[in-house]
Structure 1
Amino acid sequence: MAREIATATDRGIRAARSQVSQDFDDAVAQLEKNGDAARLMHSHMVRELLETSYQDGLSGDDVSDVLTRAVASASRWDAPVDPDAVAAVLLGALGVGEQSGVNGAVAQSIPLVKIISAAILVTADLVADAEVDHEPYITRAVGEIRRDQTIEIP
């Protein structure tokens, strides 16, 4: 399953960066099959990319800029983007949505396909803005999930 998610995530990011709607839609549909696992992996990636891009700290204005950029970029090629889903992806990656009943409720009311689509769009935007290769981020996210699943919690 991890390989399928990683491959589909790679295809989705490449499609978003090259603005190929059909490839993007296909990747999102593939990711939706393992939605919860994909969401976890994407959360790790977005968090690490935010840390890469904002090494001196992340402000509310920075988060707003990422949201605006991701939505504007997706709108230019008519990608299916929901600003609420983009906000939920960013807040979830920062751990805000998990702790707040309001944000958690909003994220749960957004269809999974919109969350997955938003996560790919945010990731593609952060990769482009930081001018980094996305593949190492995929590899590290898979490794982090694998590590989390093998640690015994007392």
Structure 2
Amino acid sequence: MAATDAVAAARNRDAGAYEPAVDRLAGADRSGLVLGGVVRLLLEETHPDGLDGDDVRQVLERCVRGAAPWRPEVDPHVLLVLLASALGVYDPGADDAPPDPAEVARHAPLLVADLLAATGRPLEGYLTTAFAEVARTELHD
């Protein structure tokens, strides 16, 4: 699966494996929704009392600092949009278009890998839960 491969490459900081995985991820249906669900689940687990602005800043800074040495084109703004979207608080203004699927695919695995490192747990359980939530939401829409 593209998401698993991309997150594994991000965790290993393997640029050679990362590019083809994110290319596949960008073409996958609902990958942004699923990875956004994984981010939300991880944020809830790592911050059980909720997040404040300082917590979001710390997550963002840690992710950017961890990714920048091997992904110098990492865009903090895209990561911030992904965080805000996962938390359900992203509201793009007139001048702020949301990132395209390719940008989401290039950045979401970085964020997921960073948050997974904080939990020490594997991705699979989070993916299963996120897929189920997306399917449930689509069923009720």
Q: Could you tell me the TM-score, scaled by structure 2's length?
A: 0.92
Helix, strand or coil at the partner of 2:68 = helix
Q: 1:39-54, aligned counterparts within 5 Å?
A: 39-54=32-47
In the other structure, the counterpart of 2:96 is: 106
Cα drift, residue 38 of structure 1: 0.8
1:9·1:27 contact (CA, 8 Å) conserved in 2?
A: yes
Distance 1:107 1:55, change over 3 A: farther
Shift >4 Å, 4+ stretches: none
1:85·1:107 contact (CA, 8 Å) conserved in 2?
A: no
Distance 1:50 1:43 in 2: 10
Cα drift, residue 143 of structure 1: 1.1
Out of 55, 61, 70, the residue aligned to residue 62 of structure 1 is: 55
Distance 1:76 1:30, change over 3 A: same
Gaps of 5+ in 2: none
Q: 1:21-32, aligned counterparts within 5 Å?
A: 21-32=15-26
In the other structure, the counterpart of 1:8 is: 2
Cα drift, residue 8 of structure 1: 0.6
Identity between Structure 1 and Structure 2 (%):
33
Tell me how large the CA RMSD over aligned residues is: 1.7
The structure where helix makes up a greater share of residues is: 1
Count of matched residue positions in the alignment of Structure 1 and Structure 2: 141
Q: Could you tell me the TM-score, scaled by structure 1's length?
A: 0.84
Higher relative contact order (CA 8 A, sep 6+): 2
Distance 2:95 2:17 in 1: 31
Could you give the per-residue CA deviations for residues 108-135 of structure 1, whole angstroms, max 9, x where no partner exists? Answer: 2x33322222111100000001211111
Distance 2:28 2:7 in 1: 17
Pair 1:135-2:124 in alignment: yes
Q: Which amino acid aligns with 1:74?
A: A
